[in-house]
Structure 1
Amino acid sequence: MVEVRDFREMGEALGDACAVLRSNAVVAGLDAEVPTCPGWTVRDLVAHQGLVHRWAAAYIARTGRPAPDAIVLAEADAAPDLLDWFDEGMVTLLNAVAAAPADLDVKFFLPDAPPPRDAWLRRQVHETSIHAADAMAARLGRPPRGDELWVSPGLAADGVDEVLTGFLVKRRPETDLPGPRSVLFTATDAHRAWWVNLTHDGALTTRVDGEAPEADVTVSGTARELYLTVWNRGRAATASDPGLWDEWAERVKVTWS
């Protein structure tokens, strides 16, 4: 069963991720390239995240259909200060989340997720945290290491869980996966593990509680290392078959559409 993390803690995590994204964007500069998002500059990254925050805020607050992407991105392009525009979206999102009732009745798109209010907050925490890591990459000129991340092992493990039990399982059966094979993912510092069975029909993920079953491939690393790796931000986690990561990068992608 999915862990429902503390609502206040997750709200603070969202604010922290926004602060990290913003501060790294300032240091890197809006015209800097983002190594972890080929073809993007920091300007593109900030505009994208501001777009997602506004979309999520409108959906959570149920204020009507979110504005089309093109309109929001044009607004970002016209903003006198893009980072101020980003801040406005962050505040709008945080206010929408804070005002949402615990029993918020909206749809959520990933399987095995917390209740909708918590699921949407969780989604925005990890969406923003990963893009904050992208802003770090722009500043550093390389993907950040796990020990350079600000997120706690518990929060990083939660982000791994969202990928393995949500995005990976939701993929259409006709979409190629890095299989057929079974893969055991272990977060060495968070006491969390996931057994993933990849087949031609899709993926099945089981959270491991106790002795782990045998697997064709084993993957291990700190929770932060796993977090970055499953989100295709470097390859800090160690796999018994290193070729897994080539297939993973090609076939396991989360995109905005």
Structure 2
Amino acid sequence: MPTELTLERHVAGLGEAMSAFVRYADRAGLDAAVPTCPDWTVRDLTAHQGMVHRWATSFLRGVRTSDPEAWERAGRAQTDPVAWLGAGAAELARTIRQTPDDVRAPVFLNDAPRPRAFWARRQCHETTMHAVDAQAAALGRTPDAVETSWIETEVAVDGIDELLAGFLTRPRERLRTEEESTLVVAPDDSGSWWVVSLGPRPALTSRGKGPLPDSDWLLTGTAVELYLRLWNRGPAPSLDENDWRGLAAVTWSGGGSAEPTPAGQRKVSAMPRPRS
């Protein structure tokens, strides 16, 4: 489903993630390695996130850029890239709030809400995942669900839904199995569960409540734990011989567009190429 959260809740989630990002980036230092984004430092992570915020803002304002990574290069060169990141996040939040509901802008996920709500949701989860990356840099390892208690359950549930129903069901995604099978994702602290129907075709996802349906694989835990695991910030779900990290990774490809690149994990981001 598009989302059960309001636009204001997503904007608030963006702010909560930014607070965590800044806190942990400052604690880690700009030269610290980011365990969840191999080959990146906190400076790289900060510049990337600041670029994505400016990229999203440009779409809502109807301004297309041929080289979004110019923002990333600019961010990396900043004396204080964390302050630069904060300025871009604040401008994004203002733009989301000031943009009319009927704005025409690209969206790129299945079952997406209208563009204004879509970008609020997408940037809430984009920033939350990269705040977890900043926390990983401060800890020197991937944080667990207890350590990421700053993530609210309702945000985690919404992020699970966005990934399972929005990202992984698109025709070009590679989350496939040779034989028909099902994965059920069921947070312990939410009344909802998701059934992901897998096979040689694109995945199909449905959401329900009540008794759990039969499945080949069942993934349980708190909503935050599952949110982190499904977004590859924790132990990967087990699908027997199938590699979740390889099949469900979503990364920034560069070159002025963004698309999933399942084989690579260097830049772990949640930004595939937008469709008009």
Q: Same fold (TM over 0.5)?
A: yes
Give the superposition deviation at 1:171. Answer: 4.5
Provide, for residues 110-137 of structure 1, a one-character-per-residue CA deviation record: whole Å limited to 9, x for no partner: 0112222111100000000000001011
CA distance in 2, matches of 1:178, 1:83: 42
Q: Deviations over 1:81-116 (max 9, x none)?
A: 111211121122111111111222223110112222
Residue 184 of structure 2 is matched in structure 1 by 184
- Aligned partner of 1:251 in structure 2 is 247
Q: How big is the shift at 1:243?
A: 4.8
User: Over residues 210-249 of structure 1, what are the superposed CA-to-partner deviations in whole Å (9 max), with x where a residue is unaligned?
Assistant: 333211111101000000000000128xx6xx35596101
Matches within 5 A, 1:15-94: 15-62=15-62, 64-66=63-65, 68-94=67-93
Q: Is the 8 Å Cα contact of residues 178 and 248 (structure 1) preserved in structure 2? A: no
SS of the aligned residue for 2:53 comes to helix
Structure 1: tracts of 5 or more residues without a match: none
- The code of the aligned residue for 1:148 comes to E
Q: Residue in 1 aligned with 2:209?
A: 209
Change (3 A) 1:211 1:56: same
Moved more, 68-77 or 193-202: 68-77
Aligned to 2:229: 229
Please, what is the CA RMSD of the aligned residues?
1.8
Q: Name the TM-score, length of structure 1 as normaliser.
A: 0.91
Identity %: 40
2:218 matches 1:218: yes
Letter in 1 for 2:135: M
**CA deviation digits over 1:128-173, x for unaligned, max 9?**
0000001011111111111222111111010000100011001416
1:111 pairs with 2:107: no
Q: How does 1:107-146 map to 2 (within 5 A)?
A: 107-146=106-145
Question: Structure 1 residues 223, 245: closer, same or farther in 2, change over 3 A?
Answer: farther
How many residue pairs were aligned?
A: 251
Tell me the secondary structure at the aligned position of residue 168 of structure 2: helix
2:250 partner amino acid: V
Task: State the match for 2:255 in structure 1.
Answer: none
Between the aligned partners of 2:241 and 2:58, the Cα distance in structure 1 is 36
Q: Which runs of 4+ in 1 moved over 6 A?
A: none
- Aligned-residue offset at 1:66: 2.9
Structure with more helix by fraction: 1
Query: Is contact 1:4–1:114 with CA below 8 Å preserved after alignment?
Result: no
- 1:148 match: secondary structure: coil
Question: Take 1:133 and 1:228, find their aligned partners in 2: how far apart are those partners?
Answer: 9
CA 226–179 in structure 1, closer or farther in 2 if over 3 Å, else same: farther
Per-residue deviation, 1:78: 2.5
Residue type at the aligned position of 2:26: V
Structure 1 residues 132 and 245 mapped into 2: Cα distance closer, same or farther (>3 Å)?
farther
Amino acid at match of 1:107: P
Contact 1:104 1:117 in 2 (8 A): yes
